[in-house]
């Protein structure tokens, strides 16, 4: 990601086409020809494989409850519920999105690095001299971050599409992966990966410092889940009903509300609310990043 826009990366992007198209091609060239992008992809594949394995064991114990942990009656009821058409479909949807809660952080952090690497390696000045339209440069990076998020989703979906039917067959249950519940989860998973990739890009453009932006990205994502504890404590004091659904204002909670089939937590708002919130945060960060990049020095 440290290649200059007037280097081989831009030359190989082609001599024709608009500036934005050439910039996008150059961004892809940077990601493809540096170790960082490949390390992220390798780590993501390993993480997804582990998540699929853990998720598979969890669902196995749903289908075959351990009698030592629950009563025989509870075991029969739990297994019967898991084997209903709705239960199997939910299980397939869960397998197809295994590890999504943490996996989107790969897209988030890579999005941060796409923009902050320019400043960390002091190549931003050359970039903006080569292409003075700073908004165009940022939008090219937005496109690259969105595509990286989509690539992570594609890799995870392909791995899950291979593993899920094999798992279901081994457990003597079956369902169509083209069913609406499964397809909805997979498509919303794509939206989550793209949104978090662009979210990271916007955060990096606003903060500019690579170290600060990476720390902030992790803090924002992990800290979002603390909103549930905060608003639960506030509800216990003030007893205002709206506080039970208010944790959705946390970006990571909003993403989970958007992608979860059914309520992500008690009194959670509908999924579209989470989608509007996470997209709103993403758009605001990108707009803020463009505005700040236009106004401040790049060195």
Confidence (pLDDT) at 33: 87
pLDDT more than 90, % of the chain: 67
Confidence (pLDDT) at 68: 66
In a domain, 9, yes or no: no
The radius of gyration of the chain's CA atoms, rounded to the nearest angstrom, is 22
In a domain, 33, yes or no: yes
Q: Would you state the torsion angle of the CA atoms of residues 222, 224, 229, 234, taken in this order, to the nearest 10 degrees? A: 150
Nearest-10 crossing angle of helices 210-224, 100-120: 160
**Strand, coil or helix: 120:** helix
Confidence (pLDDT) at 75: 78
In a domain, 93, yes or no: yes
In a domain, 52, yes or no: yes
pLDDT confidence tier of residue 278, bands split at 50, 70 and 90:
very high
Q: Average pLDDT, stretch 110-127?
A: 86
Distance separating alpha carbons of residues 253 and 281, to the nearest angstrom? 12
In a domain, 13, yes or no: no
Mean of the per-residue pLDDT values for the chain?
Answer: 89
Query: Which tens digit of pLDDT belongs to each residue from 205-254?
Result: 999 999 999 999 999 999 999 998 999 999 999 989 899 999 999 999 99
Q: Average pLDDT, stretch 171-193?
A: 94
pLDDT more than 70, % of the chain: 92
Q: Could you tell me if 224 and 251 are in contact, meaning their C-beta atoms sit under 8 angstroms apart?
A: yes
Distance separating alpha carbons of residues 296 and 189, to the nearest angstrom? 35
Q: Average pLDDT, stretch 31-51?
A: 94
Distance separating alpha carbons of residues 276 and 7, to the nearest angstrom? 39
Confidence (pLDDT) at 133: 86
Indicate the range of 16-20, 261-265, 276-280 predicted with least confidence: 16-20
Indicate the range of 105-119, 138-152, 204-218, 257-271 predicted with least confidence: 257-271
Q: Average pLDDT, stretch 167-177?
A: 93
Confidence (pLDDT) at 288: 97
In a domain, 127, yes or no: yes
pLDDT confidence tier of residue 2, bands split at 50, 70 and 90:
very low
pLDDT at 185 over 70: yes
Angle at 3 between CA 13 and CA 47, to 5 degrees: 95
User: Domain span at residue 286?
Assistant: 18-295
Closest Cα to residue 213, out of 202, 228, 198?
Answer: 202
Question: Measured between alpha carbons, how far apart are the two ends of the chain, in Å?
Answer: 17
pLDDT at 168 over 90: yes
In a domain, 12, yes or no: no
Distance separating alpha carbons of residues 285 and 30, to the nearest angstrom? 23
Total domain count for the chain? 1
In a domain, 4, yes or no: no
Confidence (pLDDT) at 298: 64
pLDDT confidence tier of residue 7, bands split at 50, 70 and 90:
very low
């Amino acid at each position: 990601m440290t290649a200059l826009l007037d280097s081989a990366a831009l030359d190989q992007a082609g001599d024709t086409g608009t500036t934005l198209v050439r910039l996008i091609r150059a961004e892809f060239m940077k990601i493809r020809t540096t170790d960082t992008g490949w390390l992220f992809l390798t780590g993501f594949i390993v993480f997804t494989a582990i998540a699929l394995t853990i998720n598979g064991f969890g669902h196995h114990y749903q289908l075959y409850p351990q009698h030592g942990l629950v009563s025989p009656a509870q075991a029969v009821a739990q297994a019967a519920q898991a084997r209903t058409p709705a239960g199997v479909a939910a299980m397939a949807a869960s397998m197809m999105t295994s590890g999504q809660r943490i996996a989107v952080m790969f897209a988030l952090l890579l999005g941060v690095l796409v923009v902050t690497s320019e400043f960390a390696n002091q190549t931003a000045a050359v970039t903006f001299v080569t292409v003075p339209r700073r908004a165009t440069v940022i939008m090219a990076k937005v496109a690259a971050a969105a595509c990286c998020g989509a690539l992570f989703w594609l890799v995870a979906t392909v791995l899950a599409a291979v593993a899920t039917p094999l798992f279901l067959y081994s457990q003597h249950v079956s369902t169509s992966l083209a069913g609406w519940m499964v397809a909805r989860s997979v498509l919303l998973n794509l939206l989550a990966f793209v949104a978090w990739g662009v979210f990271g890009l916007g955060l990096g453009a606003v903060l500019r410092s690579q170290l600060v932006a990476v720390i902030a990205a992790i803090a924002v994502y992990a800290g979002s889940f603390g909103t549930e504890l905060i608003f639960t404590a506030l509800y216990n004091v003030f007893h205002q009903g709206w506080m039970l659904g208010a944790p959705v204002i946390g970006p990571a909670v909003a993403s989970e509300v958007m992608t979860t089939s059914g309520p992500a937590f008690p009194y959670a708002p509908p999924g579209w609310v989470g989608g509007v919130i996470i997209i709103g945060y993403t758009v605001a960060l990108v707009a803020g990043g463009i505005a700040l990049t236009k106004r401040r020095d790049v060195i």
